[in-house]
Copies of this chain bind each other. A is one copy, B any other.
Amino acid sequence: MLRVNENYLKLPGSYLFSKIGKKVSAYAQANPGKEIIRLGIGDVTQPLAGAIIEAMHRAVDEMGSPETFRGYAPDLGYEFLRNAIVKNDYEARGCQICADEIFVSDGAKSDSANIQELFAGDCKIAVCDPVYPVYVDSNVMAGRTGTYEEQTGMWSDVIYMPCVMENQFVPEFPKETPDVIYLCLPNNPTGTTITKSQLQEWVDYANKNGALIVYDGAYEAYISREEVAHSIYECEGARTCAIELKSFSKNAGFTGVRLGYTVVPKELKFGKASLHDMWARRHGTKYNGAPYIIQRAGEAVYSDAGKKQLKEQVAYYMNNASVIYDGLKKAGYTVFGGVDAPYIWLKTPEGMSSWDFFDYLLERANVVGTPGSGFGPSGEGYFRLTAFGSFENTRAALERIQGL
């Protein structure tokens, strides 16, 4: 008789954003007159840039003609897209990355969840706390995390690196040496980041310990300060210890378009095994490529017109970030993030729990945010707001919060 993967049954509750979605739906149904403003899930609201729309129309037409129709895409993704990525995201920053080290995918969420398949079952992972839930949950499903401790909200075999007010949200080298270190910088959910020289220390640490860094750079486009690296490959030695995940969701508004890529350098070898070859094998066996139309949309992100339009889009969201940051400050909150990232991280007032503050904000201001504790135990007592709403909604939300 079929036995199921029992690790799935260890997962407490549902995926964070599904839970929020259900809570908000229930409130909306019970209060039909209320106008709810969503600054919770990191979903963008601005339409796609004109250059991207044009590129997709052209690609759709190509698919309708026998001369230009495209079937299965190449395993790693189309060269036109991988070349554009290499040129703009790496060569332009002095990073040595080849086109055949780029693996195009349907987004960083899938890749960040799937990458753990390459690791042995007894590898120990380290995560920042709070953290994007997918890193931990995907390892739970694979049985790599031990048991869940209700009391602490922690998994017995996960190494947590608390990122809290007291250490300026900068992860510290853990006592126990991990095999895999997940770093998301600029960070989701705290909206904070570290400098290039601090990142170099992590690269050195990983190389020294034979650990792998899974570097999630989904928010790279929001970096404003000079001293922050846009890619981990700006650090010396990263090619022997780091995989980089990139998304088009936040820099180009592709949350509903679905495109991302993962960089696996060829030097990434552990024992006899090449992670590059293993990931290539996974890609070829379990995946069939991102749609041609969507890969053309990705290419347009790197066109001159696309770059200009997306710079404006990022500026639009970063203006929202300022509105939230300043508005919360004015309302007396303790606030972080929002400078190199589209997320604002606030301390809940008067020792309120994160979920209590969620309910408070939903019911009193009809504003949806994300409870910090949903991202890990050290997120308790914090709350995340995103800058991805419209300017009008963002301003309205802050007015409501200030009026509480």
Contacts and interface: CB of A to CB of B under 8 A. Distances in A.
Interface of A: 1-6, 8-9, 11, 14-15, 17-18, 41, 43-48, 50, 53, 56-57, 60-61, 63-66, 69-73, 75, 106-107, 109-110, 113-114, 117-123, 133-134, 137-138, 141, 179-180, 209-212, 253, 255-258, 270-273, 275, 278, 281-282, 284-294, 390
Contacts of A107: 288
20 contacts: A1-B209, A3-B179, A4-B273, A5-B121, A11-B281, A14-B281, A14-B284, A18-B75, A46-B69, A48-B69, A56-B293, A60-B60, A63-B256, A69-B256, A106-B106, A109-B286, A113-B287, A114-B286, A141-B286, A257-B291
Nearest to A180: B2
Contacts of A4: 118-120, 270-271, 273, 275, 278
Contacts of A17: 284
A291 B8 contact: no
B141 A282 contact: yes
Given A209-B1, A270-B2, A291-B257, A60 B63 contact: no
Contacts of A257: 63, 291-293
A331 to B, nearest CB: 27
Contacts of A180: 2
Contacts of A286: 109-110, 113-114, 134, 138, 141
Given A4-B118, A47-B65, A106 B57 contact: no
Nearest to A209: B1
Contacts of A273: 4, 8-9
A8 B281 contact: yes
How many copies of this chain sit in the oligomeric assembly?
Answer: 2
A136 B245 CA distance: 28
Q: Give the one of A3, A6, A18 with max B CB within 10 A.
A: A3
B72 A119 contact: no
Contacts of A44: 71
A44 B271 CA distance: 41
A43 B72 contact: yes
B45 A120 contact: no
Contact of A285 (B50, B106, B138, B210): B138
A258 B8 CA distance: 27
Q: Which 9 A-B pairs have the closest CB atoms?
A: A1-B210, A113-B286, A3-B120, A43-B71, A53-B64, A15-B284, A71-B255, A4-B273, A47-B69
A370 B287 CA distance: 20
Given A1-B210, A281-B15, A64 B50 contact: yes
Contacts of A285: 15, 113, 133-134, 137-138, 141
A374 B210 CA distance: 37
